């Protein structure tokens, strides 16, 4: 039976199966697989490449347990209320965060809406690329002068966050905060917008030619779509614990 660790949100997140950490050998050298992140850099040949790393945080397992969903939703709702004193605002998120954001909204009781995602290109492991997509908004209109809180399960590299900000501001709405369960970046604000999180755990990422990860990249020891292959990543951790 799953039990909440009341005073340790991160350990609860680990317990629910939301964290992947690359296995290590006895000398604390990472064995892989690596995971790919959404953030992109341009390599020496002018090609777009995704940053990679040894950790990945995934809120999907939380959504499979009502008790965990209620726990993290209540913590984030409390954080939002403690930091924002405006009379009204809207919550807005991508559709993949539907379960968590609707649970948060039960506690905040403010309007909620969603962005949709359209895939532009599938993952291309041979060239070091993840899936490419963009967000769009086609149901309710952004309110001119309306105050919006962007919700993301995990704040990584703010790639989709920036898309949301641009869409809201282009329609003359105001983004007043970014809310997330896990903030794995070093940032406490983004373009001057405060980041409100349950857990802030800065996590390093690397270029694919970085000596720390280069050998694993050359061995193709990497998962390009971590959420899609989450069961595999969890099994890799379990195997090394035996």
Kindly list the distances between the CA atom of residue 234 and the CA atoms of 54, 97, 208, 228, 237, in Å, as whole numbers in the listed order.
13, 21, 23, 12, 5
Q: Torsion angle of alpha carbons 21, 25, 27, 29, nearest 10°?
A: -50
Task: Give the number of other Cβ atoms within 10 Å of residue 2's Cβ.
Answer: 13
Ordered domains of the chain (ranges, CATH): 9-59+204-241 (no CATH), 85-200 (3.40.50.2020)
What's the confidence (pLDDT) of residue 112?
A: 82
| pTM given for the model | 0.85
Asked if pLDDT for residue 219 goes beyond 80, the answer is yes
What's the confidence (pLDDT) of residue 216?
A: 96
Asked if pLDDT for residue 240 goes beyond 70, the answer is yes
Asked if pLDDT for residue 146 goes beyond 60, the answer is yes
Give me the helix-helix angle, 66-83 and 98-108, nearest 10°.
Answer: 50
Asked if pLDDT for residue 129 goes beyond 90, the answer is no
Q: Are strands 55-57 and 19-21 parallel, antiparallel or unpaired?
A: antiparallel
85-89, 140-144, 200-204, range with greatest mean pLDDT: 200-204
Task: Give Cβ neighbours of residue 213 (< 8 Å, ≥ 6 apart).
Answer: 34, 52, 53, 206
What's the confidence (pLDDT) of residue 93?
A: 81
Which uninterrupted H or E stretch holds 241? helix 230-241
What's the confidence (pLDDT) of residue 34?
A: 97
What's the confidence (pLDDT) of residue 118?
A: 62
Token output for 138: 């086609």
Q: Torsion angle of alpha carbons 146, 147, 152, 158, nearest 10°?
A: 90
Q: How far apart are CA 237 and CA 171, in angstroms?
A: 45
Q: How far apart are CA 81 and CA 108, in angstroms?
A: 8
């Amino acid at each position: 039976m799953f039990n909440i660790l009341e005073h340790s949100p991160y350990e609860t997140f680990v317990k629910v199966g939301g964290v992947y950490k690359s296995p290590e050998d006895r000398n604390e050298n990472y064995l892989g697989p690596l995971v790919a992140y959404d953030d992109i850099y341009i390599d020496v040949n002018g090609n777009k490449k995704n940053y990679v790393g040894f950790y990945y945080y995934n809120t999907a397992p939380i959504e499979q347990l009502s008790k965990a969903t209620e726990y993290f939703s209540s913590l984030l709702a409390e954080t939002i209320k403690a930091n924002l004193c405006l009379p009204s605002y809207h919550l807005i998120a991508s559709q993949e965060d539907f379960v968590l954001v609707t649970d948060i909204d039960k506690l905040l009781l403010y309007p909620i809406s969603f962005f949709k995602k359209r895939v532009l290109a599938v993952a291309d492991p041979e060239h070091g690329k993840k899936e490419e997509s963009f967000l769009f908004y086609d149901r309710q209109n952004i309110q001119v002068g309306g105050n919006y809180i962007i919700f993301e399960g995990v704040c990584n590299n703010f790639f989709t966050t920036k898309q949301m900000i641009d869409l809201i501001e282009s329609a003359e709405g105001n983004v007043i905060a970014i809310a997330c369960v896990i903030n794995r970046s070093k940032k406490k604000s983004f373009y001057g917008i405060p980041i409100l999180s349950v857990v802030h755990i800065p996590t390093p990422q690397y270029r694919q030619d970085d000596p720390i990860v280069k050998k694993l990249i050359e061995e193709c020891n990497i998962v390009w779509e971590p959420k899609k292959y989450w069961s595999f990543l969890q099994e890799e951790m379990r195997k090394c614990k035996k």
